[in-house]
Amino acid sequence: MKRFPLHWQILLAIVLAGIAGVATGPDLAVAGVRIYAIYDFLGTLFLNALMMLVVPLIAASIITGISGMDTGGSFARLGLKTIAFYLASSLAAILVGLVLVNAIQPGQAGGEPLADRLHWQADTSEFEAVLEQVDEQGATDLVNIFLRMVPTNVLGAAAEGDMLALIFFSLLFGFFMTRITPRYSQALKDFWQGVFETMMAMTHWVMRFTPLGVFGLVAKTLATTGFAAVVPMLMFFATVALALVIHMLVVLGLVLWGLARVRPLAHLRAMAPALLTAFSTASSAATLPLTMERVEQGSGVSARTTGFVLPLGATINMDGTALYECVAALFIAQAYGIDLSLTQQFVIVLTALLTSIGVAGIPAASLVAILIILGVVGLPLEGLGLLMVTDRLLDMMRTAVNVYSDTCGAVLIARSEGESTAIART
């Protein structure tokens, strides 16, 4: 198996999981043991192993990265480049989705609104909790985003998986670690470098079990949803999927080729294990250890750049999510026969860009963001029920795009900093 590349192992696991999940369904039992429970066990165990790595890996990578650079000009320059790329890539993704959803019109069939034609009655029971969450947390309030950045208890933030707070604390710790007595500063640098190296070694070990964990996650999903659920929403599914592919392969491919001057196919091949894992887990945070390993080992980006760019990207850079929010809002408008003006569509674009960053740390982030967008432009909130049919599969796809955008940003910023990567084109 060591000679069989990891991305092919994962791809084979996904294919076998699809067959097994659809064949067994959620209820088949052998010797009194439900097969679905086995899928759930394998997937949950793998996810737990990945999440176990996330907090110490993020803290160690950011602290060692910041402490290893000139924390004056270099720190500010790297931060500005990272944020600028993430905003630009998310905006580009939204515009791709906007063009396609207007061109394909997935919310209509035969010139009629889809909801009327199929006599759909949206089921709101699945997102009532999300509605309450929006009311309670005030996700539209920009002030809350900044309040969430500064933790009252950093250990509590780490335990709760609040990545934005953890990243902010790690940035401050790494910065001020270089401002103390050199004897103590060096001791801390050695300690955190040791933590980082240990976490990367643990990541390599967990990666060996990736195909098994991916099999459990995908088989569990398809055992409950199957493929038939996609049919009524096939045009919407196809529109989102096509937009994600165009953004990932064409837009980000041109960024890699033209701006970063690297070979897009070589980078895509190097990132394949992380992308397939992101697709299976539907979690950028859970995939982060594998993403960092592949960007460093596969594309040759330095630990300094990787440790700063990727953890931040996994928290705030959501290209696939932003694209999906835009397409979903316009699809609901089309499905209910509501014509949106260019001004309203611009509001959707702007709101999708802001919410993809602002609510990234909230559970069911895409659902929260779509509810915000629907409320801003006055679309029916119950339309969200129409999206539940395909949400899981599209969530897996957009997570893979989110992760790939992060890796492209790391490569581009590394090249702009003068690093020579393993995938540079001549």
What whole-number percentage of the chain has pLDDT above 90? 30
What is the per-residue pLDDT for 191? Answer: 95
Q: How many angstroms separate the Cα of 411 from the Cα of each of 95, 183, 187, 301, 405?
A: 23, 34, 30, 6, 10
Average pLDDT, the chain: 82
Beta bridge partners of 113: 108
Start-end of H helices in 68-161:
73-104, 114-117, 128-137, 142-149, 154-159
Closest CA to 371 of 93, 147, 139, 97: 139
Q: In whole angstroms, what is the distance from residue 184 CA to residue 77 CA?
A: 27
Cβ partners under 8 Å of residue 272, min gap 6: 6, 7, 10, 11
Distance, CA of 255 to CA of 262 (rounded, Å): 9
8 Å CB contact between 281 and 399: yes
Residues 55, 48: Cα–Cα separation, whole Å = 12
On the question of pLDDT at 300 being above 80, the answer is yes
Highest mean pLDDT of the ranges 53-57, 296-300, 311-315: 296-300
- For residue 128, the model assigns a pLDDT of 46
Res 365: pLDDT: 60
Percentage with pLDDT > 70 across the chain: 83
Average pLDDT for 314-340:
87
Where b means 16+ CB within 10 Å and e means fewer, 272-302 reads bbbbbbbbbbbbbbbbbbbbbbbbbebbbbb
The reply to whether CATH 3.40.50.620 applies to domain 6-416 is no
pLDDT at residue 369 greater than cutoff 60: yes
Report pLDDT for 134. 44
Give the 3-state secondary structure of residue 364. Answer: coil
Q: How far is CA 372 from CA 122, 133, 137, 296, 375, in A?
A: 18, 11, 12, 37, 5
CB 412 within 8 A of CB 254: no
Residue 240 CA to residue 249 CA, distance in Å, equals 14
Bridge partner residues of 108 (DSSP): 113
pTM greater than 0.85 (yes/no): no
- 21-45 residue pLDDT tens: 888 888 888 888 899 999 999 988 9
DSSP 141-159: -HHHHHHHHS-S-HHHHHH
Work out the pLDDT band at 338, boundaries 50, 70, 90: confident
Q: Lowest-pLDDT range, 8-17, 71-80, 130-139?
A: 130-139
Cβ(311)–Cβ(80) below 8 Å: no
- Packing angle between helix 73-104 and helix 319-335, nearest 10 degrees? 30
Q: How confident is the model at residue 390 (pLDDT cuts 50, 70, 90)?
A: confident
**Cα separation, 269 vs 32, whole angstroms:** 42
Residue 308 to residues 14, 64, 77, 305, 376, Cα–Cα distance (Å):
31, 9, 12, 5, 34
Out of 19-33, 229-243, 262-276, give the one with best mean pLDDT: 262-276
Query: Which residues are bridge partners to 34 per DSSP?
Result: 29
Residue 392 has pLDDT above 90, yes or no: no
Which range has the worst mean pLDDT, 31-40, 94-103, 399-408? 31-40
Query: How far is it, in rounded angstroms, from Cα 135 to Cα 362?
Result: 13
| Average pLDDT estimate for 60-81 | 75
Contact 387, 116 (CB under 8 A): no
pLDDT value at 226 more than 80 = no
Contact predicate 310/341, CB 8 Å: no
Decide if pLDDT at 179 tops 60.
Answer: yes
Element (H, E) at 268: helix 264-281
Nearest to 319 by CA among 257, 413, 406: 406
- What confidence tier does 210 reach under pLDDT thresholds 50, 70, 90? confident
pLDDT digits (tens, 9 = 90+) for 100-156: 999 999 888 777 777 666 555 544 444 444 445 444 444 444 566 667 778 888 888
Give the Å distances, CA to CA, from 343 to 162, 323, 331, 346, 348.
35, 18, 17, 5, 9
**pLDDT score at 8:** 83
Burial of 221-231, coded b for 16+ CB within 10 Å and e otherwise, reads bbbebeeeebe
Q: Is the pLDDT of residue 374 over 70?
A: yes
pLDDT band for position 394 (cuts 50, 70, 90): confident
388 pLDDT more than 80: no
